[in-house]
């Protein structure tokens, strides 16, 4: 990595779930050109504006290079040893005096986009020992994890639409032309959608907004926000009523069919149509078309998950696919088999449980070991044993991205101590007493451990660092944090934890009678791993012990990190293949179509249908191709152009309220009030208004110069922390009742 030479490197873009290959031209230590890697086995040269901006993120002068400590209300740069000593001196006494639950932790979305997050966050949490763990999952995809846990026994068993082979794609609450796909890793999602139509297939989009994706589709239907569960359950009803249920390939692996038939009986299309805003004839036709499609699939995403019936909607999506014979079948909904998964899994397991412990203030069940982030402020504000007095954030900005954020900001301000691992001093980390900045995206090795489990092809690629890191690696930072929390001292060597983790992983395989490593000498295996950094060593073991791995057998041609390094454009491991029954982890080793909790939710849905429809406007979110939550708003090329933080409103709704295009409106909900410029837009369903999230910059103490000049307003000042999807604890971010009035003087 001689900075004086000109070179071209390829690497996987870590900025979103699509995992595109990038080609970077580097001259004199600077990235001078970024384009799509035409030879990447998955993305084939596709790139979006965010990928092009990766050099600007690396070079952003506001990106922190050295740790900050708050002294007299202001952040000052310090040495790394001083930062860890400060944490040791101030955090440990809080833990000693008030117990492990007195320190909360929040994990942001960037943790699933890097190896340090994948491998080193867990040791931090383990050393901390707290039950007050929160993450961005409960403002995003938690309903999918819960429905997968109930249906398939594992929250990570998420079927994805087999985009490259389907001929009928019904999409709800997803806008991949802006998001590039979510819970469905598919570089060039737009190209893959166009290919469906080019081969004679059909795309149908159901969404309260006529999005860019909807405009590409063959048909688009508006739906009232929050009613997707009714719509999907009504389609299941049609499959039973019209004898269209055909389980296909999974027929021998399903429990609970009759219970589902009985449970969905009250939900005829005719009963739900008016509430959903979709005609009953349309619902019946779509159910028939799905059943009849040779290769068809239903795919639902954030718009149907971040609502009060999020888990039920997610469950109904998968149940529709199952009952229409589309699960585990080419062109339908299929399970990826990622290179990093453990080889040799067979059907069956312990299943999935939530509520193993409950939150202190609102008595909410844990889900996947964490509490809903919507109750974070409660846990900080409410005095008593277990009150969150100190806080650790790792890559995230909950002050902008979680509900009732004004209240959360006030709670953050009152904490006794806060540590953030983050590249920016943003709206959240400005409250931190210590900020530990990891190196840039281009200064670390990269492998997508999470998104390989959601990819529409089985693919594996590793990217080495482009530049040497200026400071310690992110895994070293997290390891030192774990060691401080584990009372090993602020100067403990992070390599100790590396060795412990790698040895522990190998020992697990050696001790497992089903593993090809069973009985081998641990030290012999470790010698084969060699002297790699901790994350790379862990990755190497995972790859070699995975379903495509060499199993540490030199005579095998299987996957290893060394082999990936020799194939910088990635290795294509083939199209998705049927995984049932082995993917199932339920105690019965079968798909469990029903659970008591889901029946309870169907009963609640039935009652809601009987209640009067709420009047007034409903607020939904909005995604833009050049944004990814809040953190790319400090990158000039990504915020250039007109103000995107506007309230979109249907012309009829605007006229009723005497709101004029270009004016400023006041938007209020139960918990907050903000002002935003308005755009009159007939692409909105009447009665629905839309505002993007992740804005609201320019706060005192943050260090985001570009974002401060494009501050926008924080939509989460309107989201209410009280209503939740009860099964997942996910916040309700779509379908928020709001009032909109023209601002005085606008």
Other beta carbons within 10 Å of 434: 26
CB 160 within 8 A of CB 146: no
The verdict on 47 binding ligand SF4 (CB under 6 A) reads yes
β 202-206/168-172 pair status: parallel
Candidates 18, 57, 617, 647: give the one binding ligand SF4 (CB under 6 A).
18
Q: Compute the least distance from the CB of residue 1 to ligand SF4, in Å.
A: 22
**Smaller CB separation from ligand SF4, 48 or 678:** 48
Draw the binding track, 356-375, toward ligand SF4 (x: CB under 6 A; -: no contact): --------------------
The verdict on 435 binding ligand SF4 (CB under 6 A) reads no
**Smaller CB separation from ligand SF4, 13 or 157:** 13
Candidates 15, 418, 580, 685: give the one binding ligand SF4 (CB under 6 A).
15
Other beta carbons within 10 Å of 711: 16
**Smaller CB separation from ligand SF4, 33 or 358:** 33
Question: Would you state the structure tokens that stand for residue 208, as one six-digit string?
Answer: 């309260």
Draw the binding track, 182-221, toward ligand SF4 (x: CB under 6 A; -: no contact): -----x----------------------------------
Which span (8-16, 212-220, 613-621, 643-651) binds ligand SF4, by CB under 6 A? 8-16
Please name the residues in contact with 655: beta carbons below 8 A apart, sequence gap of 6 or more: none
CB 306 within 8 A of CB 140: yes
CB 167 within 8 A of CB 182: no
The verdict on 13 binding ligand SF4 (CB under 6 A) reads yes
Q: Report d(CA 147, CA 225) in Å as an integer.
A: 20
**Smaller CB separation from ligand SF4, 192 or 431:** 192
Residue in 310, 319, 419 with CA at minimum distance from that of residue 372: 310
Q: Report d(CA 37, CA 21) in Å as an integer.
A: 5
Q: Report d(CA 633, CA 80) in Å as an integer.
A: 28
Please name the helix (run of DSSP H) or strand (run of DSSP E) that holds residue 124, with its range, or none.
helix 115-128
> Cα torsion for 441, 437, 57, 535, to the nearest 10°?
0
Q: Compute the least distance from the CB of residue 120 to ligand SF4, in Å.
A: 23
CB 230 within 8 A of CB 272: yes
Question: Would you state the structure tokens that stand for residue 191, as one six-digit string?
Answer: 């190209």
**Smaller CB separation from ligand SF4, 155 or 176:** 176
The verdict on 114 binding ligand SF4 (CB under 6 A) reads no
Q: Report d(CA 388, CA 396) in Å as an integer.
A: 18
Hunting for tokens 């922390």 — which residue is that?
A: 721
User: Could you give phi then psi for residue 452, rounded to 5 degrees?
Assistant: -65, -25
Q: Compute the least distance from the CB of residue 21 to ligand SF4, in Å.
A: 9
Hey, which residues does 168 pair with through a beta bridge?
A: 202, 296
Candidates 9, 24, 48, 483: give the one binding ligand SF4 (CB under 6 A).
48
The verdict on 16 binding ligand SF4 (CB under 6 A) reads yes
The verdict on 55 binding ligand SF4 (CB under 6 A) reads no
Which span (10-18, 158-166, 563-571, 588-596) binds ligand SF4, by CB under 6 A? 10-18
The verdict on 128 binding ligand SF4 (CB under 6 A) reads no
The verdict on 50 binding ligand SF4 (CB under 6 A) reads yes
Residue nearest to ligand SF4 (CB): 51
The verdict on 632 binding ligand SF4 (CB under 6 A) reads no
The verdict on 263 binding ligand SF4 (CB under 6 A) reads no
Contacts with ligand SF4 by CB under 6 A lie at 13, 15-16, 18-20, 47-48, 50-51, 180, 187
């Amino acid at each position: 990595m001689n900075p004086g030479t000109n070179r071209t490197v390829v690497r996987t873009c870590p900025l979103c779930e699509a995992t595109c290959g990038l080609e970077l031209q580097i001259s004199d230590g600077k990235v001078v050109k970024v384009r799509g890697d035409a030879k990447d086995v998955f993305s084939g040269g596709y790139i979006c504006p965010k990928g092009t901006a990766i050099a600007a993120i690396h070079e952003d002068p506001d990106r922190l290079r050295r740790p900050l400590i708050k002294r007299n209300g202001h952040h000052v740069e310090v040495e790394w040893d001083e930062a860890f000593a400060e944490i040791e001196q101030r955090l440990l006494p809080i833990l000693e005096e008030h117990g492990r639950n007195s320190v909360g932790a929040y994990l942001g979305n960037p943790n699933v986009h890097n190896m340090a997050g994948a491998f080193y966050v867990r040791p931090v949490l383990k050393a901390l020992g707290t039950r007050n763990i929160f993450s961005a999952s409960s403002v995003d995809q938690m309903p999918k994890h819960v429905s997968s846990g109930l249906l398939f026994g594992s929250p990570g068993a998420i079927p994805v639409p087999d985009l490259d082979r389907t001929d009928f794609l019904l999409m709800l609450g997803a806008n991949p032309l802006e998001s590039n796909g979510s819970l469905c890793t598919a570089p060039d999602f737009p190209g893959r959608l166009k290919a469906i139509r080019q081969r004679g297939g059909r795309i149908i989009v159901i969404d309260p907004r006529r999005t860019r994706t909807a405009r590409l589709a063959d048909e688009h239907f508006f739906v009232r926000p929050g009613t997707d569960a009714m719509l999907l359950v009504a389609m299941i009803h049609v499959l039973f009523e019209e004898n269209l249920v055909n389980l296909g390939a999974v027929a021998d692996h399903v429990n609970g069919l009759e219970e589902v038939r009985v449970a969905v009986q009250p939900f005829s299309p005719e009963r739900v149509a008016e509430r959903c805003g979709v005609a009953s004839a349309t619902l019946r036709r779509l159910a028939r078309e799905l059943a009849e499609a040779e290769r068809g699939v239903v795919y639902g995403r954030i718009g149907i998950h971040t609502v009060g019936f999020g888990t039920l909607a997610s469950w109904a999506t998968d149940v529709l696919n199952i009952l229409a014979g589309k699960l585990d079948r080419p062109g339908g909904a299929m399970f990826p088999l990622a290179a990093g998964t453990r080889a040799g899994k067979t059907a069956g397991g312990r299943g999935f449980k939530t509520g193993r412990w409950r939150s202190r203030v609102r008595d909410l069940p844990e889900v996947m070991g964490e509490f809903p982030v919507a109750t974070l402020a409660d846990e900080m504000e409410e005095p008593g044993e277990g009150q969150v007095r100190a806080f650790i954030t790792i890559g995230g900005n909950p002050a902008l991205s979680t509900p009732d954020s004004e209240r959360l900001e006030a709670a953050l301000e009152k904490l006794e101590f806060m540590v953030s691992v983050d590249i920016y001093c943003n709206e959240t980390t400005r409250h931190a007493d210590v900020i530990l900045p990891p190196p840039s995206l281009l200064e670390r090795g990269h492998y997508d451990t999470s998104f390989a489990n959601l990819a529409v092809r089985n693919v594996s690629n590793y990217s080495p660092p482009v530049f040497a890191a200026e400071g310690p690696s992110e895994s070293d930072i997290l390891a030192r944090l774990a060691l401080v929390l584990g009372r090993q001292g602020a100067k403990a060597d992070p390599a100790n934890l590396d060795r412990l983790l790698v040895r522990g992983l190998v020992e697990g395989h050696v001790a497992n009678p089903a593993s090809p490593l069973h009985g081998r000498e641990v030290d012999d295996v470790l010698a084969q791993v060699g002297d790699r950094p901790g994350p790379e060593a862990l990755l190497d073991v995972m790859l070699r012990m995975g379903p495509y791995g060499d199993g540490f057998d030199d005579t095998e041609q299987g996957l290893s990190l060394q082999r990936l390094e020799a194939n910088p454009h990635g290795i294509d491991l083939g199209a998705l293949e049927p995984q049932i029954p082995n993917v199932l982890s339920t105690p019965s080793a079968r798909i469990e179509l029903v659970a008591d909790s889901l029946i309870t939710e169907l009963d609640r849905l039935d009652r809601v249908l009987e209640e009067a429809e709420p009047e007034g406007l409903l607020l939904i979110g909005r995604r833009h191709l050049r944004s990814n939550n809040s953190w790319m708003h400090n990158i000039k090329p990504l915020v250039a152009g007109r103000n995107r933080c506007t309230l979109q409103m249907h012309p009829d709704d605007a006229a009723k309220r005497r709101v004029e295009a270009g004016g400023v409106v006041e938007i209020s909900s139960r918990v907050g009030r903000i002002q935003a410029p308005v755009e009159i837009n007939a692409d909105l369903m009447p009665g629905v208004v839309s505002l993007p999230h992740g804005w609201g910059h320019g706060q005192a103490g943050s260090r985001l110069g570009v974002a401060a000049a494009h501050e926008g307003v924080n939509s989460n000042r309107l989201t209410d922390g009280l209503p939740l999807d009860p099964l997942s604890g996910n916040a309700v971010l779509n379908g928020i009742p709001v009032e909109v009035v023209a601002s005085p003087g606008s």
